[in-house]
Amino acid sequence: MSNHTNQQVREQFDHVMVPNYAPSSMVPDRGLGSRVWDVEGKEYIDLTAGIAVCALGHCHPELVAALTQQANKFWHLSNVFTNEPAIELAETLCKLTFADRVFFANSGGEANEAALKLARKSASTNFSAEKCEIISFVNSFHGRTFFTVSVGGQAKYTEGFGPLPEGITHVEYNNIDALKAAISPRTCAVIMEPIMAEGGIITAQPEFVKAVRQLCDANEALLIFDEVQTGMGRTGDLYAYQGFAVTPDIMTSAKALGNGFPISAMLSTEKIAAAFAVGSHGSTYGGNPIACVVAKKAVEIISDPQTLQGVKNAREKILAGLEKINNQYNIFSEFRGLGLLIGCALTEQWQGKAKQFLNASIEEGLMLLMAGPDVIRIAPSLLISDEDIALGLERFSRAIDSVLKS
Ligand SMILES: *Cc1c(COP(=O)(O)O)cnc(C)c1O
């Protein structure tokens, strides 16, 4: 336990940090599995997993072992040298997905940056410089680098940062006709999240995903799946594209890939990847050996059919509990998403109030997320126990009760 109170540490935050974040009043001190303790020793059930990052919970012993073993060998040598942990992780990912080439980076935004750059490079190499248009979806989220934030479909994140990069078109999600009207031979890529996560947990309709694939093929455009949040078992498949049975040309993975150790990957086919010739793109830390050994172990555990089945079972338990809560309080209009990415959409009466429920949950010893102001997001460890689910829902019910009485 730290020598400081939650309030003392939280106040210090405002004195030393750039004011772009507004963190919770609770200051975490340590975590284990799906439980977290704050600096005052209070316990919480964690249904956030570090924003869908710690898919195997906090301090999973096999990940700790992989990390410490590599920490005693070497930490970093750069991409000037061949890196065996990176090769082994790439082999594992290629074996388990459509991909046959991998580029490693350190965050979701960077993996998407690489994907978008590869799509442009591939089009200019194989077609012409005019084939440069990128189509993405309104309300989508792809990261905060300048290119990815411009491709993302939320104007509030680009306001004040202009002039923005050109050649980007936004169309409505789950609207086949809108995409049909926008796509053309000038389009080099369509980028989409299988579930728009930050945009409110909106799941793509299966027929929409199939239509996107067909429209890309008809226009020789690449299909990029941003699986930064939906990947690594979150939906009950190792990657969500496998559940939709639609294969992208480029896919990105981050968040849970390293379970909290920063790493991301861009995956593609040999043919497309060829456009990234020597010197065309790079990253100092990309493929960091500690990150790679942790990620390889995480991929092995998550791709185990037992883990993936556990995701489906846990979803059913959580949804059953949420239905029960809603029968009593009637604050949710629907539950969305797939697997353990669950969006609880608030009814008309509670629009814009997600934060109130999050704050009340902290008081009750429960960590939750929002996906915009109208949706409470639940994204726990894929290994969460029945006991922790039950306890978490009990605390959620108490938190809702306190908001309704306030
Ligand atoms: C979180 C997220 C990103 C950005 O990842 P960072 O690691 O924050 O750069 C991109 N796309 C999706 C779908 C995400 O959920």
Q: Is the CB of 234 under 6 A from ligand 1?
A: no
Residue 226 CA to ligand 1 center (angstroms) comes to 8
Give the residue-averaged pLDDT of 70-80.
97
Q: Is the CB of 229 under 6 A from ligand 1?
A: yes
> Is the separation of the CB atoms in 69 and 78 below 8 Å?
no
Give the residue-averaged pLDDT of 394-400.
98
Of 94, 102, 221, 98, the C-alpha closest to 167 is 221
Q: Count of CB atoms within 10 A of residue 153's CB?
A: 21
**% pLDDT > 90, the chain:** 99
Give the residue-averaged pLDDT of 24-35.
97
> Is the separation of the CB atoms in 346 and 331 below 8 Å?
yes
Neighbour-count burial of 125, counting CB atoms closer than 10 A to its CB (0-12 exposed, 13-18 middle, 19+ buried) = middle
Phi-psi region of 96 (alpha: psi -120 to 50; beta: other; left: phi over 0): alpha
> Is the separation of the CB atoms in 168 and 158 below 8 Å?
no
Residue 398 CA to ligand 1 center (angstroms) comes to 31
> Is the separation of the CB atoms in 6 and 36 below 8 Å?
no
Rg for the chain, CA atoms, rounded: 21
Residue 142 CA to ligand 1 center (angstroms) comes to 6
Residue 122 contacts by C-beta under 8 Å, 6 or more apart in sequence? 188, 222, 272, 275
Q: What are the CA-CA distances from residue 189 to residues 186, 215, 267, 296, 349 (Å)?
A: 9, 11, 15, 29, 40
Find the farthest-apart pair of alpha carbons in the chain and give their distance in angstroms, rounded: 63
Q: Is the CB of 276 under 6 A from ligand 1?
A: no
Atom of ligand 1 nearest to the CA of 140: 13
Residue 24 CA to ligand 1 center (angstroms) comes to 20
DSSP secondary structure string for all residues of 165-231 = PSSEEEE-TT-HHHHHHH--TTEEEEEE-SEETTTT-EEPPHHHHHHHHHHHHHTT-EEEEE-TTTT
Give the residue-averaged pLDDT of 114-139.
98
- Residues 191 and 240: their CA atoms lie apart, in Å, by 14
Atom of ligand 1 nearest to the CA of 227: 13
Q: Is the CB of 364 under 6 A from ligand 1?
A: no
Residue 36 confidence (pLDDT) = 98
- Residues 41 and 24: their CA atoms lie apart, in Å, by 16
Give the residue-averaged pLDDT of 236-259.
98
Shortest-distance Cα residue to atom 10 of ligand 1: 142
Identify residue 342 by its one-letter amino acid code: I
Average predicted confidence (pLDDT) for the chain = 98
Give the residue-averaged pLDDT of 378-397.
98
Residue 229 CA to ligand 1 center (angstroms) comes to 7
Give the residue-averaged pLDDT of 329-354.
98
pLDDT in tens, 163-213: 999 999 999 999 999 999 999 999 999 999 999 999 999 999 999 999 999
Q: Is residue 391 within a helix (H) or strand (E), and if so which, with residue range? A: helix 386-405
Residue 119 CA to ligand 1 center (angstroms) comes to 18
**Side-chain-facing half-sphere of 129: CA atoms under 13 Å:** 0
Model confidence at 2: pLDDT above 80: no
Best of 106, 110, 137, 142 for a ligand 1 pocket test (most atoms within 8 Å of beta carbon): 142
Q: Is the CB of 107 under 6 A from ligand 1?
A: yes
Atom of ligand 1 nearest to the CA of 254: 7
- Residues 97 and 276: their CA atoms lie apart, in Å, by 20
Residue 3 confidence (pLDDT) = 86
Model confidence at 258: pLDDT above 90: yes
- Residues 105 and 112: their CA atoms lie apart, in Å, by 10
Residue 401 CA to ligand 1 center (angstroms) comes to 33
- Residues 151 and 192: their CA atoms lie apart, in Å, by 10
**Structure token pair of residue 290:** 């500690």
Shortest-distance Cα residue to atom 6 of ligand 1: 108
- Residues 258 and 297: their CA atoms lie apart, in Å, by 9
Q: Is the CB of 142 under 6 A from ligand 1?
A: yes
Q: Is the CB of 230 under 6 A from ligand 1?
A: no
